[in-house]
Amino acid sequence: MPGANVIAIEEHFWTPELSGSGKKNTGVPQRLSDLGELRVREMDEAGIDLQVLSETAPATQNLAPDAAVTLARRSNDFLHAAIGRQPDRFAGFATLPTPDPAAAADELERAVTRLGFKGAMIMGLTHGRFFDEKPFWVIFERAAALDVPIYIHPGPPHPAVIEAYYKGYPGLIGAPLGFTVETMTQSARIIVSGVLDAYPGLKIILGHLGEALPFLLWRIDDTLAKQVTLPRGFADYFRQHFYLTTSGAFSDSALLCSIAELGAERIMFSVDWPYQPNVPGRKFIDAAPISTHDRTLILGQNARALLKL
């Protein structure tokens, strides 16, 4: 896809079998279901050449293992067919049946080697379990062997956390706070768990400009070094293995912090469509107080290199 200059990589759809997730925003269900005219028209309005598509939450992370395997495969086949109809406008991240980790690793390999997908997206916890737990390492191992990234996307916090932290404040459970805390915790646990030492080629993507981790990086690195023995510093792991996107985080200060901590080479453009509209996402990057060189990297060059587009 050498002609794709502007690439958005956290852009969602849903399959009929995995829809019905309670999305109430006006127009969101219609847009999630659209893999044709409406989607492409709104891409064109914002000057977006290519979307990397992913099944929206909750995907298959909280299904029974057998159902997760079946529906993840169907989702990936569904997306592959949509990409085949417009291969110059769409690419894909695989949905993985993480309730069966071995099957998830095999499905990742099938999606990459047979369907041409560019990696995978995991939607939060798997039946309340964090992704760094040992049964899931087979997925990391396969991703590293295939040289494709895993995108860690937010999902609802553990029910016990919801009860303890957000009882009486349901508005905080999702994107305002709970999603960020859950995904930040997933990411920090991955670093501390040893996964990245076992698979040094592993690449992980975080949306929303790093789920607040760039802002906290110095403090985590400084404090953790006094409490936990790791082969490398926390910040070193983060800078070498993680990539960030601008999905749903159109903030100049957050973008500048992320560039300062990781470099523009680690940041990629995303909108989080249809939960965020394309045009404001594009205007944010176009107006951001960054150099033309960095803007070009973020809008497409970094994604082309990482995803081999």
pLDDT digits (tens, 9 = 90+) for 230-269: 999 999 999 999 999 999 999 999 999 999 999 999 999 9
Residue 103 in any domain: the answer is yes
Cα atoms in the 13 Å half-sphere on the side-chain side of 159: 4
Torsions phi, psi for 186 (to 5 deg): -50, -50
* Spatial contact of 121 and 94, defined as CB atoms under 8 Å apart: yes
Rounded CA-CA distance 81/84 in Å is 5
Residue 1 in any domain: the answer is no
Produce one character per residue of 240-275: b if its CB has 16 or more CB atoms within 10 Å, e if not. Answer: ebbbbbbbbbbeeebbebbbebbebebbbbbbbbbb
Residue 281 in any domain: the answer is yes
Residues 88-133: pLDDT tens digits?
Answer: 999 999 999 999 999 999 999 999 999 999 999 999 999 999 999 9
Count Cβ atoms below 10 Å from residue 127 Cβ, excluding itself.
12
Known catalytic membership, residue 272: yes
* Spatial contact of 296 and 268, defined as CB atoms under 8 Å apart: no
The whole model's pTM is what? 0.96
Number of domains in the chain: 1
**Strand 120-123 and strand 7-13: pairing?**
unpaired
Domain CATH code at residue 91: 3.20.20.140
**Structural domain harbouring 176:** 7-307
Residue 106 in any domain: the answer is yes
157 DSSP 8-state letter: P
Q: What is the pLDDT of residue 106?
A: 98
Residue 137 in any domain: the answer is yes
Q: Which of 100, 106, 132, 272 is catalytic?
A: 272
* pLDDT tens per residue across all 309 residues of the chain: 556 699 999 999 999 999 864 455 568 999 999 999 999 999 999 999 999 999 999 999 999 999 999 999 999 999 999 999 999 999 999 999 999 999 999 999 999 999 999 999 999 999 999 999 999 999 999 999 999 999 999 999 999 999 999 999 999 999 999 999 999 999 999 999 999 999 999 999 999 999 999 999 999 999 999 999 999 999 999 999 999 999 999 999 999 999 999 999 999 999 999 999 999 999 999 999 999 999 999 999 999 999 999
Residue 2 in any domain: the answer is no
As beta bridge partners, residue 153 has 123
**Strand 120-123 and strand 150-153: pairing?**
parallel
As beta bridge partners, residue 267 has 244
Residue 63 in any domain: the answer is yes
Residue 255 in any domain: the answer is yes
Rounded CA-CA distance 254/285 in Å is 12
Helices in the chain by DSSP H: which ranges? Answer: 28-33, 37-46, 65-85, 101-113, 137-146, 159-165, 178-193, 195-198, 213-225, 234-241, 252-262, 278-287, 292-296, 302-307
Torsions phi, psi for 180 (to 5 deg): -65, -45
Q: What is the pLDDT of residue 22?
A: 47
